[in-house]
Amino acid sequence: MPEVNIQHIDKIYDGGVQAVWDFNLDIHDGEFIVLVGPSGCGKSTTLRMVAGLEDITKGELIIDGKNCTRLPPKDRDIAMVFQNYALYGHMTIYENMAFSLTLRKEDKLVIHRKVMAAAEILDLKTQLNKKPKQLSGGQRQRVAIGRAIVRNPKVFLFDEPLSNLDAKLRGSMRRELMLLHKKLNATIMYVTHDQTEALTLADRIVCMSMGHIQQIGKPIELYEKPANTFVATFIGLPPMNLFDGKIENGHFVGELFNYPLNAEQKEVLADYEGKEVILGVRPENFTRDGHIKFTVTNNENLGMNTLVHGKVEGKKIAVCKFAEWCNYKYGDVIEVGFQEENMHFFEKDPEGRHEYQKVIK
Amino acid sequence: MTHNEILKNDVLRYKKNSLPANLALLGLVFGALYFCILYGFKEPTDANNETSWFATILIGASVILTLVMLLTNFLASEGIKSYKKNYCIVLLILAAIQIARIFIYPVSYVLQHTAEGEFVLSYFWIRTNNSVFPGIMMIVWLCASAACLIASAVIGYINCTKLENHLKSIESGEIDIDALFEEEKKQMEAGENKAVNTQPEKEVE
């Protein structure tokens, strides 16, 4: 039985604005689900609906077989960790972590055991007598997580917990969260707009945009087989390069270049002969042995690889990522091609929005 | 010492000494009630029952003493909250002063005013004229205040001593809290495994 079952949930605010459309997802026991998407896509609203902080307009929420759609937050047996930590400044770390259990009037020794166990997991034992203001951002976030752990909830909800931290700390906290998930084997719903967090933490990613789910899948699936151009450009850094064109006589004929298709691509795109399509190529799938002219505008050496920004045939801005150390200068013209097995083709529906074109291959 | 006893002491490391601190504050409140009555009806009069500069100075001194008592009481409550043993003595001294105060004014007042008078409502208190009632109430508040302060000092001392001994045991290596938790964890896991192993096996069709 899935631990959390979200069935066709909608969220319509009082003014009539619909923030979430038909959100449908089964989260399995011990699964780490990451909701990812740009700001305003409805991911936090969905999380808050699961937490009970927002009413569910339509649909049902079932947690461990129990219908929680109309239950108040305290009866849902979930714990939420917020971006701003939400710690009580006048309490010590110990008291902050013990607070929810104290409210439940649990035995002092039980509280002590749980708090000490959580502090051990989160490496906070030496900080227990301090006040939140004496801790760093990362430590405060760990306290917030500890406060959730002591409750031993069925589901953990994280609402962009690392967004307030600097890049280095975010990296270390990310690794700690992964370890924590392994230690606790907890069911986690995690909201972020950072695709790196999503790709590294998730068992499955739910990619959202404009209140709709765009794709649900394992990180590698979203990366290698994006469902539409939105997912293709949102997941991956730098984003996938998209080129408009047509399929004509076994070639991708774009405004800027023609590219011959291999036998497999021809077969898949047989129905699209003469039709407009979008070609997507990830920066790392460019090769330096093609026939497309690429005018370099910027060369960024990142140590392990080089990001080369430029214009395809002098017009379309694109980014290539080469595994080698490159030393191109502004204005250099190089000839590039694509790794055939990693070319993505998307339908081009003239009536549809450009960013939501469905994948063909 | 059992695990629970050790853990009860270990909790003190992370919790404030709240009960004695609150008792001390309660003592302060009772003390405040005492002087509300005292200054509510006491006229600055001398032994001849006439208003004089000497009587006014005495009232001033009494107000200053009360303020010092309140401040000291509050500081002692904060001190005992953070397990500072010396403040137990301060609390006991304050309790002694409160007891002594009973004999300075309220008792003599009760002895002097035996005739019953009418009850008058004032802002802070049911005030009586020519009655022993205010004197008795002053005695009650002072006794309550002293009792709270003594209780605070005793409980505070006990908790401070417990924590002190616990910390000494940890420092000397006599008690290892981490090892204790580890042992409990193992026992719990062993218990769970036992429970799993003793479950009846499902019949295979």
State the SS3 of chain A. CCCEEEEEEEEECCCCCEEEEEEEEEECCCCEEEEECCCCCCHHHHHHHHHCCCCCCEEEEEECCEECCCCCHHHCCEEEECCCCCCCCCCCHHHHHHHHHHHCCCCHHHHHHHHHHHHHHHCCHHHCCCCHHHCCHHHHHHHHHHHHHHCCCCEEEEECCCCCCCHHHHHHHHHHHHHHHHHHCCEEEEEECCHHHHHHHCCEEEEEECCEEEEEECHHHHHHCCCEHHHHHHCCCCCCEEEEEEEECCEEEECCCEEECCHHHHHHCHHHECCEEEEEECHHHEEEEEEEEEEEEEEEECCCCEEEEEEECCCEEEEEEECCCCCCCCCCEEEEEECHHHEEEEECCCCCCHHHCEECC
pLDDT higher than threshold 70 for residue B199: no
What residues of chain A, 119 to 158, have a C-beta less than 8 Å from chain B? Answer: 120, 128-129
CA separation for the pair A11, A17 (Å, rounded)? 8
pLDDT of residue A152: 86
Q: B-chain residues within 8 Å CB-CB of A101?
A: none
Count Cβ neighbours within 10 Å for each residue of A145-174 and write b for 16 or more, e otherwise. bbbbbbbebbbbbbbbbbebbeeebbeebb
Q: A-chain residues within 8 Å CB-CB of B14?
A: 92, 94-95, 112, 115, 128-129
In angstroms, the separation between the Cα of residue A135 and the nearest Cα of chain B is 17
Secondary structure (3-state) at B120: strand
pLDDT of residue B131: 67
Q: B-chain residues within 8 Å CB-CB of A108?
A: 8, 11
pLDDT of residue B30: 94
Average pLDDT in chain B: 81
pLDDT of residue B202: 45
Question: Which of B11, B2, B167 shows the shortest CA–CA distance to A112?
Answer: B11
Residue B118 CB contacts under 8 Å (≥ 6 apart), including other chains: B128, B129
Residue ranges of domains in chain B:
15-161
Nearest CB to A116; choose among B8, B15, B181: B181
In angstroms, the separation between the Cα of residue B156 and the nearest Cα of chain A is 19
The region of weakest confidence among A343-352, B116-125, B168-177 is B116-125
Give the tens place of pLDDT for each residue, B21-73.
999 999 999 999 988 887 776 565 555 666 666 667 777 888 898 899 999 99
Name the band, by pLDDT with cuts 50, 70 and 90, for residue B178.
confident
pLDDT of residue A183: 83
ipTM confidence = 0.71
Q: A-chain residues within 8 Å CB-CB of B7?
A: 109, 112-113
CA separation for the pair A272, A269 (Å, rounded)? 5
pLDDT of residue B89: 96
Per-residue pLDDT of chain A (361 residues; tens, 9 = 90+): 458 999 999 999 988 999 999 999 999 999 999 999 999 999 999 999 999 999 999 999 999 999 999 999 988 989 999 988 889 999 999 999 999 999 989 999 999 999 998 898 888 989 999 999 999 888 998 899 999 989 889 899 999 998 888 888 888 888 888 888 988 888 999 999 998 899 999 999 999 999 999 999 999 999 999 999 999 999 988 999 999 999 998 899 988 888 999 888 888 888 888 888 999 999 999 998 888 999 999 999 998 899 999 998 877 889 999 998 899 999 999 999 999 889 999 988 766 665 666 777 6
Two structure tokens written together for A259? 């590219």
Distances (CA, A) of A149 to A82, A120, A270, B10: 14, 11, 54, 21
Segment holding B128, helix H or strand E: strand B126-128
Residue A130 CB contacts under 8 Å (≥ 6 apart), including other chains: A92, A93
In degrees and rounded to multiples of 5, residue A259 shows phi and psi of -140, 125
pLDDT > 70: percent of chain B: 75
Segment holding B164, helix H or strand E: helix B133-172
pLDDT of residue B129: 57
pLDDT of residue B205: 38
Model pTM above 0.90: no
pLDDT of residue B193: 66
Residue B80 CB contacts under 8 Å (≥ 6 apart), including other chains: B17, B20, B21, B24, B87, B88, B91, B152, B153, B156, B160
Name the band, by pLDDT with cuts 50, 70 and 90, for residue B123.
very low
In angstroms, the separation between the Cα of residue B83 and the nearest Cα of chain A is 13
Q: What average pLDDT does range B146-165 have in this prediction?
A: 96
Rounded to the nearest 5 percent, the helix, strand and coil shares of chain B are 75, 5, 25
Secondary structure (3-state) at B35: helix
With CB atoms and an 8 Å threshold, state whether A108 touches B11: yes
Q: B-chain residues within 8 Å CB-CB of A112?
A: 7, 10-11, 14
With CB atoms and an 8 Å threshold, state whether A112 touches B10: yes
